[in-house]
């Protein structure tokens, strides 16, 4: 069972790199665009990177829970429970906070004519990026809890 647990830890750490790493740069990619062509390309890149975030995030949750079931004492540790709760909050942000704020941006990218980025995008993206930064902060706290295990 110890070998199985070590394999889960390895997959868990690898998943954190795979899932969280790209997540930290998603906002920056779109902020660098200067024209609508660049902005559309940036959102295309964001979409492709989001696949890694989803796969890594799913593996993180599954391996984290499996480690908890193998070692139930983890469910009594602050760092583990707090990390799990923060992670679930971060997951909930996707469909309940980010998705509703992304849809108007996607529509704007599909319908806007011309190369100048409209002011409406600036307003919409500012709100979206604010929530993405909150999620990034949550994930940084989770990483600190995992490393420090206070």
Instruction: Give backbone dihedrals phi and psi of 142, rounded to 5 degrees, phi first.
Output: -60, -45
DSSP state of 149: -
pLDDT digits (tens, 9 = 90+) for 96-145: 999 999 999 999 999 999 999 999 999 999 999 999 999 999 999 999 99
Distance CA(100)–CA(97), nearest Å, equals: 6
pLDDT digits (tens, 9 = 90+) for 6-54: 999 999 999 999 889 999 999 999 998 999 999 999 999 999 999 999 9
Distance CA(67)–CA(75), nearest Å, equals: 10
DSSP state of 112: -
Total domains, the chain: 1
Q: Which residue range(s) make up the domain with 27?
A: 2-148
Q: At what angle do helices 119-148 and 78-93 cross, to 10 degrees?
A: 160
């Amino acid at each position: 069972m110890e070998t199985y647990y070590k394999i889960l830890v390895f997959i868990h750490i690898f998943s954190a790199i795979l899932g969280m790493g790209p997540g930290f740069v998603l906002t920056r990619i779109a902020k660098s665009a200067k024209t609508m062509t660049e902005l559309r390309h940036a959102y295309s890149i964001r979409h492709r990177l989001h696949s890694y975030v989803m796969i890594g995030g799913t593996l993180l949750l599954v391996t984290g829970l499996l480690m908890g079931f193998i070692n139930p004492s983890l469910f009594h540790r602050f760092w583990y429970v707090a990390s799990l709760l923060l992670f679930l909050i971060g997951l909930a942000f996707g469909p309940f906070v980010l998705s509703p704020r992304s849809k108007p941006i996607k529509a704007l990218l599909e319908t806007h004519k011309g190369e100048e980025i409209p002011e409406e995008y600036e307003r919409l993206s500012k709100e979206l990026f604010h929530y993405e930064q909150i999620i990034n902060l949550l994930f940084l706290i989770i990483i600190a809890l995992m490393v420090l295990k206070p």
